[in-house]
Amino acid sequence: MKILVTVKRVIDYNVQVRVKADNSGVEKENVKMSMNPPDENAVEEALRIKEAGKADEIIILSIGEEKCQETIRTALAMGADRGILIKATDDVEPLSVSKLISKIVETEKPGLILMGKQAIDDDSNQTAQMTSALLNWPQATFASKIDIEENTAIVTREIDEGLERVKVKMPFIASCDLRLNEPRYASLPNIMKAKKKPIDIKSAEELGVDIKPRIENIKISEPPTRQKGVMVADVAELVQKLKYEAKVI
């Protein structure tokens, strides 16, 4: 069985995001970029499934500019087998991403697709669900545990009410939660080996997918600065301020 894992190159979660001076987007020049954190969990889970003898090959797929090869190499250094890069601009919308993934599935024919539950840059949380619909595959989102059986899988997923266990037929799509596992660090020997692992580069045009954005960002601005708090002497003063100044009660 092949496992297809999708990864996204995003601004590192430790970096303070800054808006461009012209409000056209966020600043990415000379900013540390890294793999989307939930995608790291997806890669780790694929590795564990393979190590358990339930998969033969792990393919890493990323969509974006040339520098996304660095993100693919990170996953290859963790232990994945090969990569695929679909060259595109940074503003590929979730539906277009799902269409591109579906095209790769047609040729690679994986038995399982793993991806992060959402990306930390746009927080869309749509790609897994849309890909499931396009492929007509079962889906298990927000997975916190995955148990692969012969032709099915038991997935524990986190929902508002607690934990839910669902049984899905293979092949299926799972979006991985941060609590699914603890991603491993790549060792130096594996980092060196990753440099020799193949990355197949394709284009959206080659796959016959129109990725032109349907949504235009008019302006992006930073949230207003939080106002300084006010200290009150007692509950009576608090009630007075809430009632007569803030007018919330």
Q: What is the pLDDT of residue 90?
A: 67
210 within some domain? yes
212 within some domain? yes
Global pTM? 0.84
Helix (H/G/I), strand (E/B), else coil: 178: helix
Report the chain's mean pLDDT, rounded to a whole number: 91
pLDDT digits (tens, 9 = 90+) for 33-54: 899 999 999 999 999 999 999 9
234 within some domain? no
Residue 2 has pLDDT above 90, yes or no: yes
249 within some domain? no
- The alpha-helical segments, DSSP class H, found in the chain are 37-51, 68-78, 94-108, 127-135, 188-194, 204-207, 235-240
Q: Calculate ∠ Cα 243-245-249, nearest 5°.
A: 25
Residue 144 has pLDDT above 90, yes or no: yes
Q: What is the pLDDT of residue 62?
A: 96
Say which range, 187-191, 219-223, 232-236, has the weakest mean pLDDT. 219-223
Q: What is the pLDDT of residue 174?
A: 94
Q: What is the pLDDT of residue 128?
A: 93
97 near 63, Cβ under 8 Å? yes
Where do the DSSP E strands lie in the chain? 2-6, 9-11, 33-35, 57-64, 82-87, 112-116, 139-148, 152-159, 162-169, 172-176, 199-203
58 within some domain? yes
**Number of domains the chain is built from:** 1
240 within some domain? no
Q: What is the pLDDT of residue 222?
A: 83
pLDDT digits (tens, 9 = 90+) for 71-119: 999 999 999 999 999 998 767 889 999 999 999 999 999 999 999 999 8
Q: What is the pLDDT of residue 121?
A: 85
243 within some domain? no
Structural domain that includes position 90: 2-221
What CATH number is given to the structural domain containing 155? 3.40.50.620
Can you tell me the distance from the alpha carbon of 111 to that of 168, in angstroms, rounded to the nearest whole number?
12
